Chain A
Amino acid sequence: MKHLFLRFVPILALTACDGGGEAGRVSVPVAVDGSGIGESTSELGWTVTLTAARVAIADLELTVEGEAHASLLRTVGDWLVGTAWAHPGHQAGGEVTGELPGDFVLDFVGGAGAVLGEATALEGAYHGANFAFRRATAADGLAAGDPLLGHTAWLEGTATKGDVTVPFTAALDAPDGTRLVGAELEVTIGGGGAPTLRLALLTTDPEEGDSLFQKVDFGAAAPGTALDIRPGDSLHNVLQRTLVTHDHWRVTAEED
């Protein structure tokens, strides 16, 4: 308490005091983490291996839980209207105090390790991450004919069950305004720490063990043919809804 008294003494001598100030800000690199892409086995018995996984997102936000009561979910400023929210993650309910605005294409196979940019974050203990899903455009630097153009995600790989192997491709479109809220993140920024944040798509949910392709029946493809999943297909909706849930996304911090 003594320091409080010492701070009071000069106040009386000042009538219009400068002072106060912003919270400390830190620049934090954000990179693509490809370590979450691996073999995953669904409940239908298909073992899936991805050879391409690209997702178009925008406006990464980092959230602090602050002093929000841990057992309840809430979001400051969540009176947003007209926004379709994906299933809120368990890390939801924080205030946005870090951000990396912009449009990004995350290439988890061919571009793992690529740095998306420098996020600006207020010093604090971070608890979650949010971002928006969008449709990729030519402005993303994609070549004409790139299968991701006009879509949210492009997945390519094989699914094997027993002796059957089905090559597949999937072009997925998230509804306009879809946001992912509450991807797992636990990091303290500031106080001398200089982590790099790494954003990963997880083909297997580490909590539940579910596959990203949990309910996709690759047997729908005619024998000997590849399965091409497109918007409008029933398999598209199943896969798209799983892709945009927080269960398959994670942000980790790696100290430099």
Chain B
Amino acid sequence: MRAAVAVLCALVCASATAEELPPAELPPDADVAPVELDDEGYETVIQADRAPAVSASEHHIGPRVLETTPRRTTEDLLRRAPGLLVVQHGNEGKGHQLFLRGFDAAHGADVEVTVDGLPVNEWSNVHGNGYIDLAFVPPEAVLSIDVTEAPLRVGQGPFATAGTLALHLGVPESQRGVRVAYEAGSTNRHRVSVVAAPRDADEGTFFVAEGLWDAGFGANRTTARGAALGRVRVLDDPDAGALDVLASVMSARFGLPGAVRVDDVEAGRIDLLGAYLDDTGGASARAVLALVHRWAGARDLVDTRAWVQLRELDLLESYTGLLDDPVHGDRRHQQESAVTGGARLRWTRRLHPTLDLTVGADWLTTRLAQRERHVDADHRPLSTTRDLGLVQTAAALLLGARWEPLEWLALDGGLRADLFHFDATDHAEGRAGDDTVAAVSPRVTATFLPHVDWAVHAGWGRGLRPPEGRAVTHVDAGSADRELDRYRGGEPQVTVSDTVEVGVTWRWDLYLEMSLAAFATFIERESIFDHVSGVNLEVNPTRRLGGDLSIHAMPAPWLDLRGTLTVVDARFTGSGAPIPGAPTLLGTVEAMVRHSFGASGDLRAGLHVMALGERPLAHGATAAPLAIGDLLVGYRWEWLDASVSVDNLFASDWREGEYHFASHWDRDAPRSALPVLHAVAGPPIGVRGSVGVRF
């Protein structure tokens, strides 16, 4: 029996991809060293909590880090991922902009995000392909995050051209029970959260709800949000397996202040925290229902997930003011309504003690209606620039294997074939079209273990991003006297990235861990999303060369020190020009304290400092470097839990987002079509205090 369990451990641990199996579900590690039984017959089982790493740029962010992270949203937790820059260029409630390894991933076009294995990227979203919105996940529900920086695992799906962030849901044992908390902040923020996690249930069973209202730190930044997320095990049978139900509902409304011209700020015409318009904003809603089934046999592990999702998004913004329409203004109203169904299957079989085989299949179908209209100051439609009905289906088959031919060598590899089909009707143009595109993505890694404390990794993987649905009904450019106000991007194609990476990880006992990776990513047919025009621009081939360094020191059981540094040189291969927006230097320094005083309570504290180097922007402009610090100090005593967070500890006047485009806001000033620097303010120094009670 122990042998069977041990084999099953190895099977599961070796085959599971980081984003698919939450830590709590993995059976004990196969490499159990029998412990001499004591007189009472006890034995010790070492339990692994995740699959072995296949690269030096995979990182696990566990409860220990997340507990000490100051956060307003779940996206704030993502900031702990090494090398990832998370920018909010609108307001809390709108999807964030992500930058990773030289990619300006816009709202998620190049970073795959999953929540308990469910894809979050919204394919063909009206605001941006791959749009990510994590408002349906209250931060208390996030147990851990697995970061894979590069498309090296066969299970990584569409939008993983730069990497994958896999969020695992759950409430750790130390926080289980019923907890009600109230948070107040200096921005007139009021948040109530409820966490219900039965102590006698596993960490994957929980219910979390939140209600939030925040006036915001500047003009037109009010946010209101309600969300609930729960997961419960409804079946746990050794023969039938385990079946979990996950459900979430969310609704949010938020202001969108837009970006301000830096020259206006410097001239005193507007404050950095101000907004040109006070009538722009958005609304977002989502409902998700998912079933997760796992079954483990003597040599097999089968993981099946199915879900349905309802989604609504409404955004009213103006980036350019009066530039294009000096009479009515350039307000753009985007709306989307979507229904999605999907399923994912992974079957792993141990063929040999050194060989596991994984086959998988993914399916996703979305039926959506999206519209974009030019509206006036009273939000009355002036014209329709997009009115699209779309049914799109993504299907994938994957085949992977892990082979350990030698004690010091592990080979992981596989192939996935993705197919994307569109059926689109453009009601504005009165045309319809359909198309199918496909891509094959090989991925292979090798891990060398010259010593128990060392690992050397090498890998190559192909990532992919599907085109968006409106590409199917594009207008044929070049005809005489044709209005050029429709999306044109040529034939829809899958954007493919090739990444090669080498790296090393080193561990010194329990005190020090270090990882160092060097990578190169090449894209032959790059496409970059332009927020101002709302189209994807096909641009010339690119290459990204860089490295990541991560150091984690634990000088004492109660103290964690972390430092990360990511350096990237991202350029167009033909001209050598830098890729706009991509950070060249990103570093973090973190100190986390967790100390128990026994009956007197538990202290937790986290200091996180992020430093960003100068960034190239479009047309030769540059974004300023910055350094931002956040602090959290919390104390837990019996039934009482209190914390204080300070955002922007150094009270910096910082620009969270910087862009270079043309705009015109002053009717009395001459219109200029020249691009200038625009900025979105980062939050000024702010304090949030939270008090909670536990039952």
Contacts and interface: CB of A to CB of B under 8 A. Distances in A.
A249 to B, nearest CB: 16
A205 to B, nearest CB: 15
A71 B488 CA distance: 12
Interface string A79-123: 111111111100010011111010000000000000000001011
Nearest to B263: A22
Interface in B603-619: 611-615, 617-619
A232 interface: no
B540 A19 contact: no
A3 to B, nearest CB: 10
Interface stretch (B79-87, B569-577, B639-647): B569-577
A4 B584 contact: yes
Interface stretch (B166-174, B453-461, B650-658, B686-694): B650-658
Interface in B463-495: 477-478, 480-485, 488-490
A44 interface: no
Chain A, interface residues (CB within 8 Å), range: 35 or more
A79 B567 contact: no
B673 A88 contact: no
B503 interface: no
A81 B329 CA distance: 12
B538 A68 contact: yes
B480 A22 contact: no
Nearest to B575: A67
A14 B625 contact: yes
A4 B571 CA distance: 14
Given A4-B613, A78-B484, A21 B627 contact: no
Given A67-B540, A85-B483, A23 B627 contact: no
Interface stretch (B56-64, B419-427, B528-536): B528-536
Contacts of A222: none
A20 B614 contact: yes
Given A15-B627, A19-B625, A76 B673 contact: no
Nearest to A23: B620
B491 to A, nearest CB: 10
Contact of B324 (A19, A80, A181): A80
Contacts of B530: 76
A89 to B, nearest CB: 10
B315 to A, nearest CB: 15
Contacts of A16: 626, 650-654
Q: Is the interface of B mostly helix, strand, loop or mixed?
A: loop
A17 interface: yes
Nearest to A179: B484
A122 B383 contact: no
A181 B480 CA distance: 12
Given A8-B611, A12-B627, A20-B623, A67 B539 contact: yes
A61 B624 contact: no
A69 B538 contact: yes
Contacts of B234: none
Contacts of A74: 477, 488-489, 535, 537-538
Interface stretch (B21-29, B105-113, B355-363, B674-682): B674-682
A18 B613 CA distance: 12
Contact of B622 (A21, A87, A123): A21
Contacts of A80: 324, 484-485
B629 interface: yes
A57 to B, nearest CB: 15
A73 interface: yes
A75 interface: yes
Most central of A1, A73, A79 by chain B CB within 10 Å: A79
B670 interface: yes
B374 interface: yes
B585 A17 contact: no
B613 A8 contact: yes
Nearest to A90: B478
Interface string B326-339: 00000010000000
Nearest to B262: A22
Contact of A86 (B325, B481, B628, B671): B481
A77 interface: yes
Q: Which of A22, A24, A84, A181 has the most CB of B within 10 A?
A: A22
A24 B383 CA distance: 36
Contacts of A4: 567, 569, 584-585, 613
A120 B674 CA distance: 8
B673 to A, nearest CB: 5
Interface in B79-129: none
Contact of A69 (B480, B540, B627): B540
A128 interface: no
A139 interface: no
Max chain A C-beta neighbours (<10 A), residue from B320, B530, B614: B614
Interface string A114-140: 000000101110000000000000000
Given A7-B614, A67-B577, A22 B677 contact: yes
Q: Which of B539, B577, B620 has the most CB of A within 10 A?
A: B620
Contacts of B653: 16
A81 B374 contact: yes
A81 B485 contact: yes
B677 A20 contact: yes
B662 interface: yes
B567 A83 contact: no
Contacts of A84: 481, 483
A144 interface: no
A122 B620 contact: yes
Given A77-B320, A96-B662, A11 B625 contact: yes
Given A22-B621, A81-B374, A76 B537 contact: yes
Given A11-B625, A16-B626, A96-B673, A5 B537 contact: no
Given A7-B613, A16-B653, A97-B619, A68 B537 contact: yes
Contacts of B484: 75, 78, 80, 85, 88, 92, 181
Contact of A87 (B332, B374, B480, B677): B480
Contact of B621 (A17, A21, A82, A85): A21
B446 to A, nearest CB: 26
A68 B446 CA distance: 37
B210 to A, nearest CB: 31
A79 B485 contact: yes
A80 B483 CA distance: 9
Interface in B424-440: none
A208 B56 CA distance: 59
A69 B674 CA distance: 22
Contacts of B323: 77
B44 interface: no
Contacts of A220: none
A75 to B, nearest CB: 6
Nearest to A25: B674
B299 interface: no
B281 interface: no
Q: Which 8 A-B pairs have the closest CB atoms?
A: A20-B624, A15-B650, A23-B620, A16-B652, A19-B624, A73-B477, A67-B539, A81-B383
8 contacts: A8-B587, A8-B613, A11-B611, A19-B625, A67-B540, A73-B488, A77-B533, A85-B482
Interface of A: 1, 4-5, 7-8, 11-12, 14-25, 59, 61, 64, 66-88, 92, 95-99, 101, 120, 122-124, 181
Given A7-B625, A8-B565, 20 more contacts: A5-B567, A5-B585, A7-B613, A8-B587, A8-B613, A15-B628, A15-B650, A19-B622, A20-B614, A21-B622, A22-B676, A70-B540, A73-B488, A74-B477, A76-B532, A78-B533, A79-B332, A79-B485, A96-B662, A101-B670
